[in-house]
Amino acid sequence: LESKEEFSHKTLAMDVMRPRRSDPPLSVIVQDGMSVEEVETIIAETSYSGFPVVVSHESQRLVGFVLRRDLIISIDNARQRQEGVVSPSRIFFTEYTPPQPPNSPPPLKLRGIMDLSPFTVTDHTAMDIVVDIFRKLGLRQCLVTHNGRLLGIITKKDILKHMAQMANRDPDSILFN
Ligand code: ADP
């Protein structure tokens, strides 16, 4: 992420973030109550390096960020070693785990593997500032919000791809479109 000249001041986080309008929505994990099986399905059906953790699908309030590899390791360990963690077990990223209904399998507490303060910018943040932050903090990804709601994600590769696209384009078409 060396040269940032490719970014005109008009490029904003919303222009680089995923998902695009035509993409499927962001894959997120809800902080309390998803089953082991549901989370395993998300892991199996996507190849993303990580997942934002949110309060609820409705609110899209960001709680943290969890890496795919940490989720896989923790769930595998729990299935193998922890007494009784099975597919219907509930996963909690919250500080406190509510009492489980009688006869339900033990919950799996994963707050410990979550990054509690993932870097975020708003959708209107200028990309030259985002690039600066990536370089200075050595970020791999950054989350994008609007009025506190999670909107998208920008990875280092997304930025590099965007830069390459801008570089290949006819300068006039960038100026006049
Ligand atoms: P990389 O960009 O290094 O390949 P990822 O594999 O995590 O990293 O992401 C691949 C693409 O999917 C990127 O364009 C990224 O913005 C997007 N992405 C990353 N995480 C998610 C997610 N949880 N839900 C939806 N899209 C994501």
* ipTM, interface predicted TM-score of the complex: 0.98
13-176: what CATH class? alpha beta
Angle at 52 between CA 19 and CA 109, to 5 degrees: 155
**Distance between Cα 46 and ligand 1 center (Å):** 9
- Of 17, 48, 121, the one to substitute when testing ligand 1's pocket (max ligand atoms within 8 A of C-beta) is 48
* Burial of residue 50 (number of CB atoms within 10 Å: 0-12, 13-18, 19+): buried
Interval 13-25 mean pLDDT: 94
Establish whether residue 54 lines the binding site of ligand 1, counting it when its CB lies within 6 angstroms of any ligand atom.
no
Q: Which residue puts its alpha carbon closest to atom 20 of ligand 1?
A: 48
Q: What is the pLDDT of residue 33?
A: 85
C-alpha distances in angstroms, 55 versus 62, 91, 97, 116?
7, 13, 14, 13
**Cα(174)–Cα(166) distance, rounded to whole angstroms?**
8
Residue 138 has pLDDT above 90, yes or no: yes
Distance CA 96, CA 160 (A): 40
**pLDDT reading at 96 higher than 80:** yes
| DSSP code of residue 12 | B
Name the residue ranges covered by the structural domains of the chain: 13-176
Cβ(105)–Cβ(89) below 8 Å:
yes
176 pLDDT higher than 60: no
Strands, E, within the chain: which ranges?
29-30, 32-35, 50-54, 62-67, 90-92, 108-109, 114-115, 120-122, 141-146, 149-155
Between 101 and 121, the higher pLDDT residue: 121
What tens digit of pLDDT does each residue of 62-73 get?
Answer: 999 999 999 999
- According to DSSP, residue 16 is labeled H
Assess whether the C-beta atom of 139 lies below 6 angstroms from ligand 1. no
